[in-house]
Structure 1
Amino acid sequence: MADSVAKATVALLARAGVRHAYTVPGESFLGLLDEFQTEPRIALVSTRHESGAAFMAEAEAKLTGLPAVALASRGPGAANLSIGVHTAMQDQTPMLVILGQVESGERGREAFQEVELAAFYAPICKWSAEARTADEVPALVAEGLTRALAGRPGPVAISVPADFWEQAYDRSAPEVEFPQAPEEAVVERAAAELARILDGAERPVVIAGAVGRDELRRAAEAHGLGVYVAFRRQDRFAEDHPLFLGHLGLGVPADVSRSLAEADVVVVAGTRLDAITSQDYAVPRPEQRLVMVGRELPLPRHEGPATVLDVDATAVLGRLTKGASREWTAGHEAAVRAGEVGDVATEVGVHPAQVVRTLRGLVPDDTVVTNDAGNFSAFYHRYWKFAGPHRQLGPCNGAMGYAVPAAVAAKLSRPHSTVVAFVGDGGVLMTGQEIETAVRLDAPIVVVVFRNGLYGTIAMHQAREHGRLAAVDIGELDLAQWARGLGAIGLTLDRPSDTENVLRTALACGRPCVVDVRTDPDVIAPNRRLSELT
């Protein structure tokens, strides 16, 4: 008896190493859901919102390097899912998106929830396609996985009419062609060219993105490279290393960015130069030589000399041999000073810096930390010390609502690791319902919510630009009680003297736990008060 298209597709995904499929179930892929449920190698995770499903798939892939699957149904579901897909695109994260389409016989008739899904997803994916016949679905899925991992990783989307899943499939399902390691000769040539440029430089720095930690460290030590980490890629290089010069995030102090401004060669490895990493496109300067190392990276608009090495950045860094020694003491000391916690006195509540630094001292070195978008994250980026093997999962595209779903996926992927999520009250109200998913799946994460009653980033911009605020208020909340309503442990932290005890309790409780941290809305960013901007 022939298999169904759904059965052949799920078996293909399992053989390819996919271990989770995240979804809000929909009627346009019922057969696929049923086959996932019977496949022991893949866990089907029901989420509370499609954006949560997409963020979970993105976080798992960022953590493991292998694509996870995100599923959504037709127009509304696909629209909800798209936020996390855009995150995967800008963060260079492989993901397979399967979208349930209306029945094939109803296409083009403005059927219920019909949208041209392949066209809708094309701008936010590496590749998108719609199956024209049932027989081609497994082949499209195999091609999608290959494309997601090839070159610069990213998401792919495949739209499948609802009636295709149950149809018979009597062919041999195709296998996924995983990208091969680059040819040694190609890597050696690229490494030799990079070494030649570095040997002729006086003050070369590297901006590191998605590259191997060990390869980056060895290359930096071999050539005396000063190391900056790209926005939300802080886990790529240990902050206590003497070659560490800083994190190119928001609000970088002038003395931290000085070494970058004074560099004669800027090597960008495994990352695009987005607006934040480039400090609003101030880097590279016209007189600086730019070297881009990585697959299919977009070349920034640069008036000076530029070299593009379209080769895997980790492989190239791993081939660098001994070069010149360089000393970066002043730059490293500036980075260390930037991470020192100063005055943590507040008019009300608890200072975010105190929470971040205290929690860092309590967790093991293999902790996975997820963070949301928002001004609260500036305290985390500044004061959480990255060293050792622990991982950072954060949205480089600045998508709110990332942290809680990402933490759930991280715990499912690494059940023996401590997983902590940092989020603001704005972000937790977008996707915090995924705490119920954590409870249901017994994924004991710790969610630290910085509650200041504001969309803090926008409030800061408004205060600076207009001297007053508009539409940024968030009402009085009891997030501890809300968490308990979702089945989690809920704790409140509103006194500085309770900080360590409350965080210890959260880490030890063995269940999903939300810590509702009351913070002063005036403490809008490190070393900045909102009242000083109005």
Structure 2
Amino acid sequence: MRTVAQAVTRVLADAGVQFGFTVPGESFLGLLDAFERASELTLVSTRHESGAAFMAEAHGKLRGVPAVAMASRGPGATNLSIGVHTARQDHTPMVVLLGQVPSTKLGKDSFQEVDLAAMFRPLASWAEQPTTAAEVPAAVAEAVAQATGPRPGPAVVAVPSDLWDEPFDGELPRPMPQQAPPTPVADLAERVRAAQRPVVIAGARDAGTQQELVATAEALGLGVYTGFRRQDSFPEDHPQYAGHLGLTVPDPQRKALEDADLVVTAGMRLDEVTSQGFRFPLPDQQHVAITANVAETLRELRGSAPARERDWSAAHEAVREYMTPPDTGTGPAVHPTEVVRTIRELAPRDALVTNDAGNFSGFLHRYWCFTEPGTQLGPCNGAMGYAVPSAVSAKLTEPGRTVIAMVGDGGVLMTGQEIETAVRHRAPIVVVVFQNRLYGTIALHQVKSDRQMSAVDIGAIDFASWARGLGAEGRTVNTRDELEPAVRAALSADRPCVLDVRTDPDVLTADARLADFLEE
């Protein structure tokens, strides 16, 4: 007879789940054992629960199928919560399984006890705590359904520790995900036909949807923007590409969106950053959201609306001008623009890039030029510590791809220990640390608001030696001349490699220097 834990792993495997990421805990020993024994599932032990959650989130982003993040009771679950919030903000499918205190000790403020379902309901899309062993498999099946429903996101099940090993002789439940209502294609086709300046804001990352979007944009004359940190949803070198709706969008790039009379969102929600502070769509703009079967809807739209050409050259020229790297001088200091430009020139076209939060990421967003689908993973909630764990997950998910993590020194000090996970699983990722010894984003906010810089210093770290201590390769880049050889070596390494790039601390963004504010 199956145990509850064995029934749960069967439900997960039948739903197409492949990975579970965890820091092991005594409150879900039965689940760990069942996961290890299930041939379809891969169990990855991480160095911190936040790393486990970021890994699960990254897998869900890449595949559209949830991975499982597992943690134990109060401390482990709270460590895991940052990745859960990341998945909720970006509508990434994820299943979270938490070990709880034994059912006989619930409600007694037991060791490490937290009301986990109540804690996670504001952070997750759905959260429940079964009270009997018989209810657990059905709760997990419902979690899969909720995670992959019309608004994908993280679904949480907290299970008292004594229930995992209880017998389960019932029929295995199957997830029954709800489907979002289809977009009325005939109505959308008529709106596109009548519009003078229709634009699409794209967010779906899979290859099939990008292909359909390119074909539809070309046939119907649509201008295309990409959502925040979803730059891989449309080729940035395409003549109908109008820009990335990120944190800093210059006025010339916003003009095509301001002039649009129809705004179509495809495969994403209009979050605060993408909507530019909830400004778009404007009150006089029509707005249609394609949330289900995006590729199929685009294909039907292309067959229903009349072909038409529209001139987007002014919008795309503004993009090209913005994305053209400037002359960064000839001094020895390493400029972040040079780092991005060099790696982009040497890395494969389909290299998968994960980026952390921080000012350095603006250089990636601006100068990388994403052209292939499934090549960008970034936290839309701005969570620090995302890049390294997500890169490990990406390499495990797509072992044939080059995977590059770009991260600041602040972010890598939060979750960089997952490099050891990459070493252990023979996942040769490249980690590029932009070391400027500063929490640059906060420093910029402080000096722009005429405040003194407080609590933003980061000590000088020898990240190359640190990486070698974790079993990876480590290389230090102090000057421009050292950059290209180091990048070439890292890309050809057969094990994880960390590039400790000492960037100019005066360069806060592509358009702002720290000295400009301190001299005023």
TM-score bin (small chain): over 0.9
Match of 1:494 among 469, 473, 478: 478
Out of 13-22 and 45-54, give the one that drifted further. 13-22
Cα offset, 1:261, TM superposition: 1.6
Cα offset, 1:331, TM superposition: 0.5
> Is residue 2:283 matched to residue 1:286?
yes
Match of 1:424 in 2: 408
Q: How is 1:456-471 mapped onto 2 (pairs within 5 angstroms)?
A: 456-471=440-455
Match of 2:188 among 167, 191, 194: 194
Cα offset, 1:390, TM superposition: 4.9
Match of 2:382 among 381, 398, 415: 398
Give 5+ residue unaligned stretches, structure 2.
none
Local SS of the residue matching 2:213: helix
Out of 132-141 and 268-277, give the one that drifted further. 268-277
TM-score by length of 1: 0.93
Match of 2:235 among 238, 244, 247: 238
Q: How is 1:373-384 mapped onto 2 (pairs within 5 angstroms)?
A: 373-384=357-368
Residue deviations 1:329-356, cap 9 Å, x none? 0110110111111122376631111111
Match of 2:299 among 318, 330, 354: 318
Number of aligned pairs?
512
Residue deviations 1:486-529, cap 9 Å, x none? 11100011111222111000011111000001011111011221
Aligned partners of 2:71 and 2:99 also within 8 Å: yes
Aligned partners of 1:365 and 1:390 also within 8 Å: no
Give the direction of change, closer, same or farther, for the CA distance of 1:533–1:358 in structure 2 (3 Å limit).
same
> Is residue 2:439 matched to residue 1:455?
yes
Local SS of the residue matching 2:383: coil
- Distance across 2 between alignment mates of 1:394 and 1:112: 36
> Is residue 2:202 matched to residue 1:208?
yes
Local SS of the residue matching 1:528: coil
Aligned partners of 1:348 and 1:520 also within 8 Å: no
Match of 1:227 in 2: 224
Aligned partners of 2:239 and 2:316 also within 8 Å: yes
Aligned partners of 2:55 and 2:392 also within 8 Å: yes
Match of 1:258 in 2: 255
- Distance across 1 between alignment mates of 2:502 and 2:331: 11
- Distance across 1 between alignment mates of 2:398 and 2:144: 22
Match of 1:387, as an amino acid?
T
Match of 1:177 in 2: 176
TM-score by length of 2: 0.96
Match of 2:390, as an amino acid?
A
Aligned partners of 2:226 and 2:234 also within 8 Å: yes
Match of 1:17, as an amino acid?
G
Residue deviations 1:406-445, cap 9 Å, x none? 0000000111111000000010000000000001111000
- Distance across 2 between alignment mates of 1:415 and 1:144: 28
Aligned partners of 1:228 and 1:248 also within 8 Å: yes
Cα offset, 1:388, TM superposition: 3.0
- Distance across 2 between alignment mates of 1:337 and 1:74: 51
Give 5+ residue unaligned stretches, structure 1.
295-310
Percent of aligned positions that are identical: 56
> Is residue 2:314 matched to residue 1:367?
no
Cα offset, 1:289, TM superposition: 2.3
Cα offset, 1:287, TM superposition: 2.6
Aligned-CA RMSD value: 1.5
Aligned partners of 2:332 and 2:480 also within 8 Å: no
- Distance across 2 between alignment mates of 1:339 and 1:384: 8
Cα offset, 1:315, TM superposition: 3.1
- Distance across 2 between alignment mates of 1:126 and 1:315: 26
Match of 1:166 in 2: 165
Aligned partners of 1:229 and 1:247 also within 8 Å: yes
Out of 443-452 and 5-14, give the one that drifted further. 5-14
- Distance across 2 between alignment mates of 1:432 and 1:27: 25
Aligned partners of 2:386 and 2:415 also within 8 Å: yes
Aligned partners of 1:31 and 1:166 also within 8 Å: yes
After TM superposition, which residue ranges in structure 1, 4 or more long, deviate above 4 angstroms?
A: none
Cα offset, 1:532, TM superposition: 1.3
Q: How is 1:2-151 mapped onto 2 (pairs within 5 angstroms)?
A: 2-151=1-150
> Is residue 2:271 matched to residue 1:274?
yes
Cα offset, 1:257, TM superposition: 1.4
Match of 1:299 in 2: none
Match of 1:451, as an amino acid?
Q
